Amino acid sequence: MIADLDTLLTALYVELTDQIIPALGFARSGPGRPPEVTDAELVCLAVAQVLLRYDDERHWLRAAPRLVGHLFPRMLSQSEYNDRIKATAPLMEAALRWLADHTPGSAELLRLMDATPVPCGQSVITARRSNLFGYAGYGATATAPAIRAGIGEASSCSS
């Protein structure tokens, strides 16, 4: 199966409209016109923003019509986008949980993890007090001369 951004966003949109939004009771009601961009479309736009690595909303909203405009023809202004994203935080969390459960990385038997050493113990005493003592290496590397404690290689098998 070949998965691309369009397929992922379409599947997420269908799941949001058919399952997640009704289950959360996140339906809009009350006076006034319904929004032109639905909550499901808004969440899909936010997911596309992250996957396409746009960390600035202004740049994203300028590029979105070109990149995903064929899926979402109606776009929001920057201020409306920011306000609506904040208001849909519970829906965004549910969508991200669904994505985590349904992407191949979480369903595989072998999971590869990034094992980049991170600065966590700045002294020998602190490193020995750590719960990783005995599992993680301690010392300096040629690329990072600061003393660092971390795990060199990591992989996880689950059955």
Residue 89 pLDDT > 60? yes
Give me the torsion for CA of 19, 2, 48, 33, rounded to 10°. Answer: -40
Which residue type occupies 157? C
What whole-number percentage of the chain has pLDDT above 70? 62
φ and ψ at 127, to 5 degrees?
Answer: -65, -35
Would you place residue 3 in the very low, low, confident or very high pLDDT band (cuts 50, 70, 90)?
Answer: low
Would you place residue 150 in the very low, low, confident or very high pLDDT band (cuts 50, 70, 90)?
Answer: very low
Segment among 19-23, 40-44, 66-70, 100-104 with least mean pLDDT = 100-104
pTM of the model: 0.62
- Cβ burial, residue 84 (10 Å; 0-12/13-18/19+): middle
- Quick one: CA dihedral 99, 103, 107, 109, positive or negative? negative
What does the pLDDT look like over 24-66, one tens digit per residue? 887 676 788 888 899 999 999 999 998 899 988 899 999 999 9
